[in-house]
Amino acid sequence: MARVCKEGWLETYLQYVKTQESPQEYHTWVALSIISSALTRYTYMEHGRLDLYPNIYVILLGESATYRKSTAIKLGRDILKIALPNINYAAQKLTPEAAIGSMQTEFKKTKMSSLAFIAGELSVLLGSGSDNIRMIQFLTLIFDSEDHFAYETKGRGREQCDNLYVSLLGGSTLDWFRSSLPAEAGIGGFTGRFFFVFPSDSFIWKPEPWPLLTEREEDLKAKLVYDLKEIHRLRGKFHVPDDVIKVFSDWYRSKAYLRSMNVSRPLMRQYYARKPDGILKVAMLFSASRGEDLVVTEEDYVRAKCTVEFLEPKLPHVIDQLEVTLVGQDNMRILGCIKRERKIKHSDLLRRFSSRYSSSQLKDVIATLEEQGQIKVAVIVHGRGKPSTIYEFTKKVRKDDVQCFPPA
């Protein structure tokens, strides 16, 4: 069947939401995420020895209420639900066990373990405490669309899902996102799989006090629903012409990309390591938005690369916040140990944390805690023996204070 969104699905969607108050950056990535959810595993790209699927993880970041993150997500989700009412999606909190059960049920119907996580508030989806850690680890593991995936569940033992395809679209404040990612969850692996979307600095809020759908917008919505069904019907391999492979390869070997892989910050390196695959995934989405030929043209590739790189100026700000979280958790973990012991030798402290920190890393944390006045450092000489370094907690301990810090 012929498409009715003549300018492309993404372009039509941006026309549909033009008067809504959220930034265009949000709407662009919501649209790409909805296309990703609709495609599922039926389409793919051969990339060397592995198949690459068009699933993406997207998070809209911004202040609560100000940028209407949840509203932007709801507009896209509603079109997805109307067009594909049977699609397997989750908007509320799930445990890994519940997610696996949902994907196994979907596999019985479609021979594909697919699940689209779509939540206006990511906090609702991920939960808190130990469930939060387990869900973050689970989402990290299932991103790569493995043919066969096994997971040790609580209560049910080892469970398997076949033909994975998982996408994620959520909204959050940066403060919540930072505080929700404990180091135990593997921050780098999780965040390296996300596209972080901020409003541009030039965004100007245009109030729409009483939003009503015009006849034109109703018509655009109907076209979007129709064409999303057509996108869902796409099957097969995306073809990448030789000229596009050359353009991609030239960039991949370029000095600019090689320099980015040598940045000193680990979280930035993990982003850049995954960037090529991210661009190719988004290029597939631009191709599917444009038409049904399953060809990634040079224009599709260039648009994908520009859309991804448009996010990068704000990325260091996200990384700054996450690295502060990691350092803070290191400090709190070690301080918690000293607090419980009241006094502890350097050698004993190093032994307890030997699997987590090197001697130099531990000394850096100790120097910070001493500078903050949290601990005192004393050197005790035992006759002719080797001096001992002692760390002593200096603040008054409240009854509930020690419980704030995770054990070693």
CA dihedral 343, 344, 346, 349 (to 10 degrees): -130
What is the span of the domain harbouring residue 374? 336-404
Is position 354 within any domain? yes
pLDDT surpassing 50 at residue 22: yes
CA distance 162 to 146: 7
What would the 3-class secondary structure string for the chain be?
CCCCCCCCHHHHHHHHCCCCCCCHHHHHHHHHHHHHHHHHHHEEEEECCEEECCCCEEEEECCCCCCCHHHHHHHHHHHHHHHCCCCCEECCCCCHHHHHHHHHHHHHHHCCEEEEEEECCHHHHHCCHHHHHHHHHHHHHHCCCCCEEEEEECCCEEEEEECEEEEEEEEECHHHHHHCCCHHHCHHHHHCCEEEECCCCCCCCCCCCCCCCCHHHHHHHHHHHHHHHHHHCCCEEEECCHHHHHHHHHHHCCHHHHHHCCCCCHHHHHHHHHHHHHHHHHHHHHHHHHCCCCECCHHHHHHHHHHHHCCHHHHHHHHHHHHHHHHHHHHHHHHHHHHHHCEEEHHHHHHHCCCCCCHHHHHHHHHHHHHCCCEEEEEECCCCCCCEEEEEECCCCCCCCHHHCCCC
Mean pLDDT of the chain: 87
pLDDT surpassing 50 at residue 347: yes
> How confident is the model over 33-42, as pLDDT tens digits?
999 999 999 9
Give the residue from 243, 275, 310 where a domain finishes: 310
pLDDT surpassing 90 at residue 49: no
Q: What is the pLDDT of residue 190?
A: 80
Whether 142 and 109 have beta carbons less than 8 Å apart is answered as no
- Whole-angstrom CA distances from 374 to 152, 367, 393, 404 are 40, 10, 6, 15
Is position 123 within any domain? yes
Q: What is the pLDDT of residue 131?
A: 66
Same domain, 341 and 268: no
> How confident is the model over 360-375, as pLDDT tens digits?
878 888 888 888 788 9
Same domain, 246 and 361: no
pLDDT surpassing 50 at residue 43: yes
Same domain, 202 and 143: yes
Partners of residue 151 on adjacent β-strands: 159
Same domain, 297 and 151: yes
Same domain, 133 and 279: yes
Is position 374 within any domain? yes
Is position 205 within any domain? yes
pLDDT surpassing 80 at residue 297: yes
Express as a percent the part of the chain with pLDDT over 90.
55
- CATH code: domain of residue 162: 3.40.50
**For 127-155, what is the mean pLDDT?**
83
Same domain, 158 and 247: yes
CA distance 95 to 72: 25
**CB neighbourhood size of 155 (10 A):** 5
Is position 23 within any domain? yes
pLDDT surpassing 60 at residue 406: no
More confident residue, 181 or 32: 32
Q: What is the pLDDT of residue 263?
A: 82
pTM: 0.81
| 160, HSE (Cβ side, Cα atoms, 13 Å) | 5
pLDDT surpassing 90 at residue 70: yes
- CATH code: domain of residue 362: 1.10.10.10
Q: How confident is the model at residue 399 (pLDDT cuts 50, 70, 90)?
A: very low
pLDDT surpassing 50 at residue 400: no
Q: How confident is the model at residue 397 (pLDDT cuts 50, 70, 90)?
A: very low
Q: What is the pLDDT of residue 328?
A: 65
Is position 355 within any domain? yes
Is position 276 within any domain? yes
CA dihedral 205, 209, 215, 218 (to 10 degrees): 70
Locate 352 and state its tokens: 């307890």
Give the residue from 310, 327, 354 where a domain finishes: 310
**CB neighbourhood size of 387 (10 A):** 10
Same domain, 299 and 348: no
- Whole-angstrom CA distances from 92 to 88, 127, 236 are 13, 9, 32
Q: What is the pLDDT of residue 239?
A: 98
Q: What is the pLDDT of residue 398?
A: 39
Q: How confident is the model at residue 192 (pLDDT cuts 50, 70, 90)?
A: confident
| Choice among 96-100, 109-113, 172-176 with the minimum mean pLDDT | 172-176
Centroid of chain to Cα 382: 53
pLDDT surpassing 60 at residue 408: no
| Choice among 48-62, 218-232, 311-325 with the minimum mean pLDDT | 311-325
Q: What is the pLDDT of residue 394?
A: 85
Q: What is the pLDDT of residue 183?
A: 56
Is position 200 within any domain? yes
Centroid of chain to Cα 71: 20
Same domain, 143 and 280: yes
> How confident is the model over 231-247, as pLDDT tens digits?
999 999 999 999 999 99
The count of structural domains within the chain is 2
> How confident is the model over 252-285, as pLDDT tens digits?
999 999 888 888 777 888 889 999 999 999 999 9
Whether 232 and 40 have beta carbons less than 8 Å apart is answered as yes
